[in-house]
Structure 1
Amino acid sequence: MRSLAGLGALVAAASFFLYLLSTHLPPGTKHLQPASEGEEETVEEYSLKFPSDLDSLRELAEMLKLYKREHYSYVLLLFCSAYLYKQSFAIPGSSFLNMLAGAIFGPWEGLVLACLLTTVGSTFCFLLSSAFGKQHVVHFFPDKVALLQRKVEENRSSLFFFLLFLRFFPMTPNWFLNITCPVLNIPMPIFFFSVLIGLIPYNFICVRTGSILSEISSLDDIFSWTTLAQLLAIALMALLPGAVIKRYGEAHLRVDGMDGEDQIRKER
């Protein structure tokens, strides 16, 4: 009970901090709205809300890009805080934030941010699970934990590549791996670098897609040769490391029995 109370206090404190960041924006948060014929220009306040679809994602990205011109550091702090909050408390759904990173910061800066924040946030989640949640993870997911424990022991000699395999081909969702690895006695360095390297293809796809979406203004842009070439390059770069890991896994890893009835639906 004490562990749940401590975790609840951390969640409450982090939620309050994120709320303050999102509601107490620094000065300069207004911009002019173009006026229709016969009307005067109006001043609109920036407002923040989490995107629920691609349209709202694009609106939020455009707003934050404008705001970033005056307050880059604040936008960076706000984005990093929101990302770490979601990752640290194992909240599924990182794809929207990855796409937002690409739309706001561009493909390469966004990719570096996404990879670093995913790794640091997952490590925080690992530490929180180790401190507060081991017994609860085993209690609520006994079969899945037992399956992963068995596979970890079978692949103990190639543990790093086994974890890479699970990140490239998520037979279990990433948030579940983050909270389960302390139970499985995965060493912190192996966990850290398996997340950093293993999620690069996924982060790359999402960030690059977000960057492209921010540049598209009509359906014609989606089917332009430039956009199609970019999407093809994204697919090739994402598939190549996965193919290498899969080939290695077929020869050296034992992952049979981790799909079918035992597979957890992928939730990012």
Structure 2
Amino acid sequence: MITTTGGEGVCGCGLLSSMRSLVGLAVVVTVASLYLYSLSLYLPAGPQRRLPSPSGVQTEHVETSAEPEEPADSSGEPSRLKFPSDLEELQELAELLQFYKTEHTGYVLLLFCSAYLYKQSFAIPGSSFLNILAGAIFGLYEGLLLACVLTTVGSTMCYLLSKAFGKRYIENLFPDKVSMLQKKVEENRDCLFFFLLFLRFFPMTPNWFLNMSAPIVNIPITFFFCSVFIGLLPYNFICVQTGVMLSELSSLDDLFSWERLLQLLAIACMALLPSALIRRFSQKRLKLDVHVQNGLITDKKFQ
């Protein structure tokens, strides 16, 4: 009887702990979602619609007191502010935010940072679109700095949320992957930082999963923070530079100019150089049981 009661007590404590974690995570998600929604409510008036004139030339429509019922362009409505899911939506959002940036720079910066951290903190896919958007809105240098800082801070927030609320659920949902990652972390404990860089350059497991499972497999937050900033720098650079190029293109012919081709070559070199260095180091020091060929993992054991 004593043993049974003790077992029931342990189960009850475990269930209570799980409920607290679930409720705590739900509160955090709800508060963050309400903040992001309330921020979108302060969206300034958007650009006015360009209407075709009888001569076939588009002219900008200007509101007058004689026509109070004529609405401004619908692109200024809060409903237009949504995470882009394809290139067309990305271009529309970039044009809208570029318009706002000229008059409301602080608002656009706050909105972009908040949306980026929201996606990263809760492991929502699609950060590549936001990296491209950063290049289109803020340019190469400011956009790259923003992307690197926000990626690192957002991933660290995901790390902390997982540590506080998600350990039990992640272990239950992905037992095999967590076990394999734990094994590899222990095998490479003497060069853990370079192992983490390798995982970012050659993602044998998705970045979102690595962010959530890092505290579970006892990866120090300092190593995690630095490895995210350095390891995702080439990827962020590619996305941001792509956004810069897209914002400057007026036609498809511009994509095949010598200037664009040289930019693409520079992007490729930027991505391949650090990857080659990490690959060379990994072959000598890291215990991976996988083979990297042309930047791809050929062994499926760790995927």
Query: TM-score normalised to the size of structure 2?
Result: 0.83
Distance 1:100 1:80 in 2: 12
Q: Which ranges of structure 1 fall in alignment gaps of 5 or more residues?
A: none
Q: 1:67-117 deviations in whole A, cap 9, x for unaligned?
A: 101100000000000000000011122110000000000011000000000
Q: Where do 1:9-24 residues align within 5 Å?
A: 9-24=27-42
Task: Tell me which residue corresponds to 2:199.
Answer: 166
SS in 2 for 1:35: strand
Q: Could you give the per-residue CA deviations for residues 215-265 of structure 1, whole angstroms, max 9, x where no partner exists?
A: 11211011111111101100101110010000000000011158644444x
Structure-1 residue corresponding to 2:125: 92
Q: Residue by residue, what CA displacement relative to the aligned partner does 1:153-202 show, whole Å, maximum 9, x if unpaired? A: 11000000000000000001111000001001111111110001000000
Of 13-22 and 159-168, deviating more is 13-22
Could you say which structure has the larger radius of gyration? 2
Q: What's the TM-score, normalizing by structure 1?
A: 0.94
**Larger relative contact order, structure 1 or 2 (CA cutoff 8 Å, min sep 6):** 1
State, as a whole percentage, how many aligned pairs show the same letter. 64
Deviations 1:32-75 (A, max 9, x none): 33331238743314132222211211111011011101100000
Aligned counterparts of 1:6 and 1:242: Cα–Cα separation in 2: 39
| Deviation of 1:21 (Å) | 1.2
Equivalent residue number for residue 60 of structure 1: 93
1:151 aligns with 2:184: yes
State the partner residue of 2:226.
193
Match of 1:36 among 52, 60, 82: 52
Give ranges in structure 2 of 5+ residues lacking alignment: 1-18, 62-71, 291-296
Q: Describe the SS at the equivalent of 1:229.
A: helix
In structure 1, the partner of 2:23 is 5
Do the aligned residues in 2 keep the contact of 1:65 with 1:104 (CA within 8 Å)?
Answer: yes
RMSD: 1.5
Alignment counterpart, residue 286 of structure 2, candidates 243, 247, 253: 253
Q: Cα offset for 1:129?
A: 0.4
CA contact (8 A) 2:235 2:271 kept: yes
Q: 2:236 aligns with which of 196, 199, 203?
A: 203
Q: Where do 1:132-143 residues align within 5 Å?
A: 132-143=165-176
d(CA) in 2 for partners of 1:10 and 1:19?
Answer: 14
